[in-house]
Structure 1
Amino acid sequence: QWFVRYLDLKDKFRERSDEVKWLPEHMKIRLYNWIDGLKWDWCISRQRFYGVPFPVWYCKNCGDMVLADIEELPVDPRLEKNGRKCSRCGSSDLEPERDVMDTWATSSLSPRLALVPAGYFQSLYPMDIRFQGHDIISVWAFVTIVRSEIHDSLSPWKRIFISGNVYDPLGQKMSKSKGNVLEPANFIEQYGADALRFWASSSVPGDDIKIKEQDFVRGRRTVIKLFNAFKLLELIRSDKPLKKLNTPPSNMANAWILAKLNSVVKDVTDLMDQYLFSRARTQLDNFFWNTFCDNYLEIIKGYGNTDTDPALQDETVSVSYHVFLDVLRMYAPIMPFITEELYLSYPEHGKSIHVDLWPSFSEEFIFQEAEGKMDYIIEVIGKIRNLKTGNKMSMNTPLERVFINGNSRIIEEGRDIIMGMMKIGSIISEDSPEILVSLDEKQENK
C-alpha cells in the first residue's frame, strides 16, 4: 500500500481549519472530531483497475523502484514500459505497480487542478469558497486541507459552504431498495429547470432538505409571473423608446417603487454576500410578488391610456423597466433561463444577463417622504381590499363611494391611486388616528 504520513500534522490541520470561515460555523466541529480521532496515516492506494495510476515500476532483478519522468506523465505502468531499464542494475525485467490512487487522493487537489492549468494559481489561491455536502466533511474537505498544508502551507479556501442532503417528501433517505428515488429530470420535465432551481434555493446552510412539490409549483408560478409582468410592461410601453431614468420622479408611486427597490437590493445583496440564499430569495419574492406586482403594476396599469399625461407615461415606463430589470438581475442566479429570455427581450440589452452588472444600492433612490406616504396609501388600499373580501366582492367590483378615516391629507394626495386601483367612484375622508374604511348601507346590502 501507499501512505501519506500526516499524523504529526494534526495541529496544523486544525490551524488551517480555523483560518476558514465555515458556513454554518457549527459544522467545523465535525472536522475537529475527525482530526482528533486519527489513528494512522493516510492510505492513498486502492486495488482496482479504474483510477489514477501510480507511475512506478519495480525491478524484478534487484527490487529497485523505477519512476516515470515528469515529461511522460500521465502514464499507466500497467499498459506500457517504453523500453525502461532499472537505473541500478540495468535490467529491463520490470513489474508495473498495479494499485491506483484513492479518489480522495486526486479530488483533494481540486483547487490546484482548477487553477494551475489556467495560470491563475498565484492570483486566486486560496480560492474564495468551497461548496460541498456535510456527509463528506471528513473526506473531501479534510483531505483538501491536508494537501494544501503539505504542498503550500495554506488553507485551500477562504470559506466553506456546507449543504445538506436531499430527502424524499416524508424526510427519508432515498434509495433504490426503498423505491423512493425521485429523479430531477422528472421535475424538470413537469415544472421546468428554473422551478427546480427555485426549490433548491430554499435550502439552509448545513440543513437537509425535503422534496416539497409545492415549492416546485411556486417556482413555476414565479416563472409565469415574471413573463406576464413583462408582457404588461410591454403593453404600457406601446413600442415607445425607453428614455433615460431621471430622478427624482415627479410621480409619488414611481418614487416609492424606486425607494422600495433600493432597499431590497441592499437586503438581497447583503444576504447573498453571506451565502444566505434562501433568505435572499424570500426577500426578493416578497418584493416582486407583493410590492411590484400586487401594488405598483396595479397602480400603473392605466398609464398606457392615450389620455395619460405623456410626461407621466415616459417616466413610468422608464421607472418600471428599470425596476423590473433589477428584479431579473437578482433572480438570475436562481432562475437563469426565464431571466435570460426576458433580458434579451428588452429594447436595449447586453450580451447576457449573466455577465451584466449586479444592481447596487444608491443614495439617489432614497425618497423617504414619498415612500412614507405611499406606504400609508398601500395600507389604506389593503383595508379596502379586506372590506371587499368581507362583503364577498371581487377586487374588480366597482364601488360608488367609500368612507375613509385616517390621515386625510395623505389620502387626498393618493386619491387617484386609491380610486383607480379599487374601482371607486368617490372617496369621503375624515381625519382619524386609525385607518377605518366603510361603505354606506346601500352598497353593503348589494
Structure 2
Amino acid sequence: MDTWATSSLSPLLVCGYGTDLFERAYPMDLRPQAHEIIRTWLFSTVLRAELETGALPWRTAAISGWVLDPERQKMGKSSGNGLSPDELLDRFGADAVRYWAACGRPGTDTAFDEGRMRVGRRLATKLLNASKFVLGFPAADGPPTEALDTAMLGALDAVVADATEALADYRYTDALERVERFFWTWCDDYLELVKDRAYGDLPGADSARSALRSALSTLQRLFAPFLPFAAEETWSWWQDGSVHAAAWPSPAGHVDTGALAAAGSVLAEVRGPRRGRGRRCGRRWARWR
C-alpha cells in the first residue's frame, strides 16, 4: 500500500467530502508543509483531489523549512533531538513561542532560539503595559489635532499598509518586523513625548488622548496574529467582542509629516549624554566601593 493513500485524502476529509460543508469549504486557501515531502504528500494530494473532484485542493502551498538545533541539525523525533512544546509554553508562554515561530521565513530553515522567545515575551509584556498606560487616560471627545499626534497616526497608516501587503503575500515575518519596529518607537518616543500633555487639561490633551487610543486600537489588531493572547487580553479591557473577530485596520488617511521621526532624533541626542553620565557615575561608584 502507498503510505500516502490516506493522507492524500486529507483535504477531502477535512472539508467534509459529500456533505454541505464541502461545497462551502473546498478548495481550501492554504496548504502548509515542509519541503522534503513535496514529491510525496503534495503530489499525491493534488493528484488524488484532481481525480476525485476535478479541481485543485488548495490555492496556495506554503513551503516551510526545518527547525534546527544549536548544532544546525534538523530537530525531530527520528533525530532524537526533538522537544515537546509543553515545557517551552510553560517557561515562556504561548505568545512568546508563537513569536519565535513567526520569525521563521517561509522556505528557510529556522534555528531553535530561546533568546528569540524571551524577546517575544518582553514584547507581549510591553503590549500589556503600554495598553494599561494608554487606557489610564480618559477618552477624548474629538479627533487628534496636534501636529505630532497626526504625524504619528500618519506613520502608523504606513505601517498598516505595509503589514497588510506583506500578509497578503504570505510574508508574515516582514509584517511582524514592520509592526514591531514601529511599536517600540511608539513606546520609546511618542509615549514619552505626549504623556505630560495627556495628563494635563489644556486643549492639546484631548488630541494626545485621542491619538493614543486610536493608535492602540490599531496596534492591538496588528499584533493579534502574532501575540494572540496579549492582544486579546488588552482588547478586552476596553472593547466588546474578540480582537480576532474585529475588522483588520486600514489606513485612516493621516499624513506622516516626519514630525515623530524628527522628535525621536532629538530625543536620541538628549538621551545619549544622559546615558553616558549614568555610566560614568556607575564606574565612579564601583571604584568608591
TM superposition score normalised by structure 2:
0.88
Q: Is the 8 A contact 2:232 2:243 kept in 1?
A: yes
Q: Secondary structure at the match of 1:132?
A: strand
**Equivalent residue runs for 1:241-390 within 5 Å:** 242-243=139-140, 246=143, 249-290=144-185, 292-305=186-199, 307-309=200-202, 311-346=203-238, 349-362=239-252, 364-365=253-254, 367-368=255-256, 371-389=257-275
Q: Is the 8 A contact 2:232 2:242 kept in 1?
A: yes
Is it true that 1:200 corresponds to 2:93 in the alignment?
no
Separation in 1, partners of 2:182, 2:260 = 15
User: Deviation per CA, 1:294-343, whole angstroms, max 9, x where unpaired?
Assistant: 111111221343x431x432332222111111111111111111111111
Q: Determine the structure 2 residue equivalent to 1:58.
A: none
Q: Shift in Å at residue 245 of structure 1?
A: 5.4
Counterpart pick for 1:161 among 62, 66, 81: 62
User: Deviation per CA, 1:197-229, whole angstroms, max 9, x where unpaired?
Assistant: 000001111111111111011011001111111
Read off the aligned partner of 1:308 and give its amino acid letter: D
Q: Determine the structure 2 residue equivalent to 1:61.
A: none
Q: Is the 8 A contact 2:152 2:260 kept in 1?
A: no
Separation in 1, partners of 2:15, 2:100 = 31
User: Deviation per CA, 1:32-72, whole angstroms, max 9, x where unpaired?
Assistant: xxxxxxxxxxx44xxxxxxxxxxxxxxxxxxxxxxxxxxxx
Q: Determine the structure 1 residue equivalent to 2:285.
A: none
5+ residue gaps, structure 2, are: 280-289
Q: How many residues are paired up?
A: 278
Q: Determine the structure 2 residue equivalent to 1:412.
A: none
Q: Is the 8 A contact 1:252 1:374 kept in 2?
A: no
Read off the aligned partner of 2:208 and give its amino acid letter: T
With over 3 angstroms needed to count, the CA separation of the structure-2 counterparts of 1:329 and 1:150, relative to structure 1, is same
Q: Shift in Å at residue 178 of structure 1?
A: 6.6
Q: Is the 8 A contact 2:49 2:55 kept in 1?
A: yes
Separation in 1, partners of 2:53, 2:154 = 48
Separation in 1, partners of 2:145, 2:140 = 15
Q: Determine the structure 2 residue equivalent to 1:113.
A: 13
Q: Which has the higher helix share?
A: 2
Q: Shift in Å at residue 146 of structure 1?
A: 0.7
Give the RMSD, CA atoms, in angstroms.
2.1
* Range with greater deviation from structure 2 (173-182 or 268-277): 173-182
Q: Which runs of 4+ in 1 moved over 4 A?
A: 175-179
Q: Secondary structure at the match of 2:59?
A: strand
5+ residue gaps, structure 1, are: 1-42, 45-101, 395-446
Read off the aligned partner of 1:315 and give its amino acid letter: S
TM superposition score normalised by structure 1:
0.58
Whose radius of gyration is greater, 1 or 2?
1
With over 3 angstroms needed to count, the CA separation of the structure-2 counterparts of 1:382 and 1:171, relative to structure 1, is same
Q: Shift in Å at residue 166 of structure 1?
A: 1.4
Q: Secondary structure at the match of 2:11?
A: helix
User: Deviation per CA, 1:89-116, whole angstroms, max 9, x where unpaired?
Assistant: xxxxxxxxxxxxx4x2222122222223
Q: Is the 8 A contact 1:245 1:319 kept in 2?
A: no
Q: Which has the higher strand share?
A: 1
Separation in 2, partners of 1:253, 1:221 = 27
With over 3 angstroms needed to count, the CA separation of the structure-2 counterparts of 1:122 and 1:182, relative to structure 1, is closer
Q: Secondary structure at the match of 1:377?
A: helix
Read off the aligned partner of 1:105 and give its amino acid letter: A
Q: Shift in Å at residue 372 of structure 1?
A: 2.5
Q: Is the 8 A contact 2:151 2:260 kept in 1?
A: yes
